[in-house]
Structure 1
């Protein structure tokens, strides 16, 4: 995201806490953020404000996301602590297509909310800015292939570790100077589901899957729909489905993919099939003539109305479009069957399994930590937080 404000460097103020008492929610093992100097605001999104900052200990530039968490009578909700600890574990894997979580610091605490600082590696710009800055006629086909390949690798890693991103879009996909692509903001949607302190920033619908728009249960396929939308945008240099509200977003989709039949329409949807006019399928080759046949085939497998029929990240990486990349899955994830309801606002770790795994063993799901996994070694700096919230 482009820098939007510049301020003189200054320490990021925390609130020192010490000691621990059961149920008090004290944070004895989280560091104070005063060794980070804020440089400027990078941007503000649904999950908080992001700052560019300098780590004065090792003189490196980082990105800090300042997030507000809702507190219970016992302090920080256990579910939130588990989600954050899971993000820390994933950061240790150092996946090339995932933004690393480097540190977690505590900030100001009030009666019913507190501030956490999530410290990430700093990456130069987001994919939205990268596309906008690209001179005419746009990205070349090889560069598009490399970008979507890296995105799918990141998504496959998340899914193999039972994380559904839920908000993939160019604004939270980062591009470094060496053209590495990294996914950001994964896991934060679930954290905010628990704390219910989302900001008033309007969240775009352009990359949202039909099952989410219709209020149905959803899982990992939502991210593959978003990948399809982003894939098309890399060629078009504009959104494929630029809807303004839920019904309009669905209409935008049906204008291209055609309106699903009555038989295809989910029976438990919050919006009935009769709300939409019947529209025929428009050939994607007419909309994006620059795509070759393999690219078109992959796009059509990503943008499938029925989520059960949508291609997975693992299978997408094995698609002929990526033949020269020589991808070989090392193992298969177990089937994940839990789902969540969009209307309920609670996210499960489950969903369709990823067909291709990475070399990292899947991290335990957030709601099924065994007793030995709640040790200080597993949760790192958050162990004291969790102990104070039992």
Structure 2
């Protein structure tokens, strides 16, 4: 956490690797011994190793921190936060499980449960395809549950991003929030601190305003947009382009916020107008001159809409999808409110229609019987997961065609009893059961199957 608004674009230099620690070595704590199998990550504060706990034969992740007195404060802060949140159930609150901390050859080590894949690399593995709302919904719910639990302890994560959200179970899309190295207590927050990664940073932080746990809610909004777009919604490499993207998509922060912000004049200019003084965003040239820096060009894989409402019609869709996308965008608008004091809380967001699915039908359709029954939301979720192939034992297994949530308004053709509904359902889900991540092709394939 920094109190200075100026940031380098290249990032800090990665420190040298810990001398004397290598694959095959055993890390000893007071209660366990961890054999290093391989190093799986490296960052500014140290390395992460996949290890086997020789006492339990369990695979764990051990974060091995570098020897550096400058990082001692950050290390102690992380341990303090981890011990504080240990009172929470990590599985119910969707937080990484922390086992212990110990010293090895002068290096502080932190042992966690082993989690294999983060959301950023999941999207990469899927060929940078947008995720269906069916997959985004459980992720959103679990993140909001995690933030609500952290808020109950007065903890701000401050580093919400796809890289720090790990998948526990891919088929059920169960996730956990990791990396509390930059977490801070709400009681210790001071205006002017610069926290959060670029592109996921709340406006109040960039402007130098007081901030609360609401900054993590903003981070969740950016993560959900990332999953929907398969790209960052705001620039992650240039502070000016990040602010420009926020203004173009969400509007300009109110004058009262700009007047109160310590760093507002880094991005905005106050000018005289007929109605009095007004604020406007600097041009790239003005920003470069005023801040003695270069504005990087923002390269995005999508054409940014003029507002969040433009996300609704970004992909091909059917009637039932439209209602879900409206609910999704409604949630995004509340998560990404410019004024942190007016932004929705995690507990409030959990009650929004996109999470509760109150806007969707709970009727279930059984193709094999051509009958309708009523099922609970939980069972509906399970059946929808099954329809996508999560629970299929074998590829192509007919188990994916068990009862699913059926909405009569899905297409006009499906509401016509004269059609062969069973065959149409089989063809529809055969096209999407192996892919959660294509927002377009399943519907295109379905339309082609009807022609």
CA distance in 2, matches of 1:216, 1:45: 29
Residue 292, structure 1, aligned to residue 325, structure 2: yes
Secondary structure of 1:225 counterpart: helix
Change (3 A) 1:149 1:78: closer
**Could you tell me how far 1:9 is from its partner in structure 2?**
2.8
**Could you tell me how far 1:309 is from its partner in structure 2?**
0.5
CA distance in 2, matches of 1:187, 1:160: 19
Runs of at least 5 residues in structure 2 that lack an aligned partner in the other structure: 1-21, 189-195, 271-279, 284-304, 316-323, 359-375, 378-451
CA distance in 1, matches of 2:343, 2:46: 31
Change (3 A) 1:256 1:69: farther
Change (3 A) 1:132 1:253: same
Secondary structure of 1:95 counterpart: coil
Aligned with residue 59 of structure 2, among 44, 58, 61: 61
CA distance in 1, matches of 2:74, 2:63: 18
Alignment of 1:141-220 (within 5 A): 141-178=133-170, 179-186=173-180, 188-190=182-184, 204-220=197-213
Return the TM-score normalized by structure 2.
0.57
Secondary structure of 1:297 counterpart: helix
Residues 126 and 175, structure 1, Cα contact 8 Å, conserved in 2:
yes
Alignment of 1:207-356 (within 5 A): 207-272=200-265, 273-274=268-269, 276-277=280-281, 282-287=306-311, 289=313, 290=315, 292-324=325-357
CA distance in 2, matches of 1:69, 1:260: 43
Alignment of 1:121-140 (within 5 A): 121-134=113-126, 137-140=129-132
Secondary structure of 2:39 counterpart: strand
Secondary structure of 1:128 counterpart: helix
**Could you tell me how far 1:212 is from its partner in structure 2?**
1.3
Runs of at least 5 residues in structure 1 that lack an aligned partner in the other structure: 1-6, 15-30, 110-114, 195-202, 328-390
Q: Which structure has the larger Rg over C-alpha atoms?
A: 2
Residues 258 and 278, structure 1, Cα contact 8 Å, conserved in 2:
no
Change (3 A) 1:136 1:86: closer
Change (3 A) 1:134 1:94: same
**Could you tell me how far 1:173 is from its partner in structure 2?**
0.4
Report what 1:108 is aligned to.
105
RMSD (CA atoms): 3.4
**Could you tell me how far 1:217 is from its partner in structure 2?**
2.3
Return the TM-score normalized by structure 1.
0.65
Change (3 A) 1:236 1:40: same
Aligned with residue 10 of structure 1, among 19, 25, 43: 25
Residue correspondences, number: 287
Residues 35 and 56, structure 1, Cα contact 8 Å, conserved in 2:
yes
Residues 160 and 200, structure 2, Cα contact 8 Å, conserved in 1:
yes
Residues 11 and 34, structure 1, Cα contact 8 Å, conserved in 2:
no
CA distance in 2, matches of 1:243, 1:171: 13
